[in-house]
A = this chain, B = another copy of it.
Amino acid sequence: METIGQILRNKRQNLGLLLRQVSAYLDIDQAILSKIERNERKPTKEMLEKLAEILKLDKDELLIQFISDKIAYEIADEDCASKVLKVAEKKIKYLKSNPIPKLT
């Protein structure tokens, strides 16, 4: 099971790209990219899209990995985690079929 950081790092290295090169393409400091690859910081969606481009990764797949990572870390320590996901799924289906109320 790979984290998003690992996915990014592996692909970058397989392509023989340097942090410096990729971070320049994203127009961010390479320190940030380094931290993203070690899961110390989270990329923005904009960064993800650029990363998908330059690393030849599927944009949607990367987004899925990113969000699921976030959720997994968020609730992994709850012992009701899988129940949470089931309920969340129902709520999402409901939200999708109804006008979206405002979020806090």
With the chains together, A89 CA to B94 CA distance in Å?
20
A72 close to B84 (CB less than 8 A): no
A20 close to B (CB within 8 Å): no
Q: How many copies does the complex hold?
A: 2
Interface size class of A (residues with CB under 8 A): 35 or more
- Which residue from B81, B82, B92 sits with its C-beta under 8 Å from A75? B92
A63 close to B (CB within 8 Å): yes
- Within 8 Å CB of A104, what residues of B? 35, 39-42, 73
Cross-chain pairs A/B with CB under 8 angstroms, 12 sampled:
A39-B103, A67-B74, A67-B78, A68-B85, A69-B91, A71-B71, A71-B74, A75-B92, A76-B92, A82-B89, A85-B85, A85-B92
